[in-house]
Homo-oligomer: A and B are copies of this chain.
Amino acid sequence: MSNVSIPKGTRDFGPDVMRKRNYLFAVIRNAFIQYGFEPLETPAMENIETLTGKYGDEGDKLMFRILNNGEILEKAKSSETNNSLIKNVSEKALRYDLTIPFARYVAMNRVTLAFPFRRYQMQAVWRADRPQKGRFREFYQCDADVVGSNSLLNEAELIAVYLDVFKSLNLNVEIRLNNRKILAGLANLIGAAERLTDMTIAIDKLDKIEWSGVKQELEKANFTSEQIAKIEAYLSIKGTWKEQIAQLHTIGLASDEQVAKGIAEFEEVMRLYQSMCGTNDSIVMDLTLARGLNYYTGTIIEVKAKDVAMGSIGGGGRYDDLTGIFGFPNMSGVGISFGLDRIYAVMDELNLFPQEVVSATKALLIQFGGVAEPVCLNTVRQLRMNGIAAEIYPSAEKIKKQMEYANKKQIPFVILIGDTEVAQEKVILKNMQSGDQQLLSLAELIQALKN
């Protein structure tokens, strides 16, 4: 049994990684709280009927189902099809995202909640996707949503949350903004309203397969060359957001009611953000942004890191009817999501995690035993009571072994208290990086480590 392993697509997060992840969680949570978002956690498992049919056929297939207790075989013998057997032996599945459980929670608690309801949720989700680089079967989502308000101020505030978080993380980002109504209007104008999803899925791939690839996709989806030419004209629009809006007018797109509405919403979000934060320089209009498979109906948002090649590190948007599927209709919502794994990867690549995240313990007390023991024990206690994370090696092993432990854990200081120091009522503080040693009183030691 020495050949132990974990399920493919899952990960252990050891101390070094966890400290960095906890740092990201703390920064994101802090911003959510600053903006009045309230914490929510939902169970890992939901009833099957809560989840199925919400994520397309693909989603239903990729859900991790929980086996009921009891006699499967009996049920199998009397069961006609695999699907009916699955229903017989499994009534629960693991959460696939945080949005559907959130909608389910809002519908169940509609009477007691204060609307507009602003909630944040940071929990794991599970998908039986084929594991590959950067894609996992268990991963965290960090979402903030407002439900029960049409006001575009919510969009402006969520963009501010993004920019505050990434400023705290020292990560240069650009917010890309578009509006699904502009895309819906485009589909309208070219007589392909019912093929909006085909169109957005194709447009969504522009980053990866360039225009020639998107064109082929559109041809495959039976768009005419005239329609494709208009889509190309739309996707070719460049410039500042004001210039792009001017061009939407010039090429006649803004004559469509939906497009006009999308433009007006876009302008209002920009105005509100500017009014709140003094500038909207970090926000660009990206008419090629589509967020293909999603249920968005208004503003759509994506965050890109500026100093590194990486897909979006966050995204979100407005959806008109979040809770209707659970019998609570006409609740408009808007939300954003932080891509934790990708943010982690970018921060790591750019070396942006602060030094204090690398090791939590500030100092290790080396044990010599004997008369020094009670002094050592009292010293570690005093450090902790002064808010300094400190350890004492649990037994008087060889000093080399204790030093190696400090090195391996990247503890920046060790404290040595031998018989001489006890007699002097002093301690030696050694900086593990520089090798410098200081002879200090307890009060001086606390001061030195508190910085």
Binding site for B on A (CB under 8 A): 1-7, 10-15, 18-19, 21-22, 33-36, 38-47, 49-50, 61, 64-67, 69, 71-74, 76-77, 79, 81-82, 85-86, 89-92, 94, 104-105, 107-109, 114-116, 118-119, 124, 126, 128, 138, 146, 149-151, 153-154, 157, 160, 164, 272, 275-278, 325-328, 360-361, 364, 373-374, 377-378, 380-381, 384, 387-392, 394-395, 404-405, 408-409
Is A4 a contact of B50 with CB atoms below 8 Å? Answer: yes
Chain A facing B: main interface SS = mixed
Copies in the complex: 2
Query: Shortest distance in angstroms between A27's beta carbon and chain B's nearest beta carbon?
Result: 13
Q: With CB as the reference atom, state the residue of chain B lying closest to A73.
A: B82
Given contacts A45-B138, A72-B85, A82-B71, is CB(A15)–CB(B66) below 8 Å?
Answer: no
Is A126 a contact of B7 with CB atoms below 8 Å? Answer: no
Query: Shortest distance in angstroms between A287's beta carbon and chain B's nearest beta carbon?
Result: 26
Q: With CB as the reference atom, state the residue of chain B lying closest to A273.
A: B377
Query: Shortest distance in angstroms between A267's beta carbon and chain B's nearest beta carbon?
Result: 15
Selected contact of A326 from candidates B2, B64, B115, B380, CB within 8 Å: B2
Given contacts A85-B73, A105-B12, A108-B4, is CB(A18)–CB(B38) below 8 Å?
Answer: yes
The distance in angstroms between the C-alpha atoms of A126 and B391, with both chains bound, is 33
Q: Which residues of B contact A325 (CB under 8 A)?
A: 1
A67-B90, A160-B381 known, 13 other contacts, Cβ within 8 Å: A2-B326, A4-B47, A6-B42, A6-B50, A13-B42, A18-B41, A34-B387, A36-B391, A38-B360, A72-B76, A146-B394, A154-B394, A275-B373
